[in-house]
Amino acid sequence: MTAATRLPQAAARATVGTGHAACHHGEILQGVFLDERRRSVHALVTLPMNGPGSTARFARRPGSPPDEVTVVPDGRTKARAAAVLAVRECAALRDTDPCGGELTLTGDLPVGLGMGSSTSDVIATVRAVADSWGLRLPPETIARIAVRAEGASDPLMHGSGPLLFAQREGRVLEVLGSALPPAVVVGCLLAGGAPVDTLSLPDLPTPHHDDDLAAYAHLRRMLCRAVADADTALLGRVSTASARLRQRVLRHKEFPTLTGIADRTGAVGVQVAHSGNVAGILFDPRTPGLRDRLRRCTRALSREGCAPTRTFTT
Query: Using one digit for the tens of pLDDT, what is the confidence trace for 237-289?
Result: 999 999 999 988 878 899 999 999 999 999 999 999 887 789 999 999 999 99
Mean pLDDT across the stretch 171-200? 84
Tell how far CA 272 is from the center of its chain: 13
Lowest mean pLDDT among 174-178, 191-195, 200-204: 200-204
What domains sit in the chain, N to C, each tagged with a CATH number? 5-174 (3.30.230.10), 177-313 (3.30.70.890)
Mean pLDDT across the stretch 6-14? 57
pLDDT at 117: 85
Strand 184-189 relative to strand 269-272, pairing: unpaired
Which 3 state secondary structure label does DSSP give 64?
Answer: coil
Q: Measure the CA–CA gap between 118 and 198, rounded to whole angstroms.
A: 10
Q: What phi and psi, each to the nearest 5 degrees, are found at residue 223? A: -65, -40
H or E segment at 306? Answer: none
pLDDT at 115: 73
Mean pLDDT across the stretch 97-125? 87
Q: What phi and psi, each to the nearest 5 degrees, are found at residue 102? A: -115, 125
Q: What phi and psi, each to the nearest 5 degrees, are found at residue 169? A: -115, -15
- Binned at pLDDT 50, 70 and 90, residue 95 comes out as very high
pLDDT at 122: 96
Q: Measure the CA–CA gap between 265 and 226, rounded to whole angstroms.
A: 22
Whole-model pTM: value is 0.88
Q: Measure the CA–CA gap between 255 and 190, rounded to whole angstroms.
A: 9
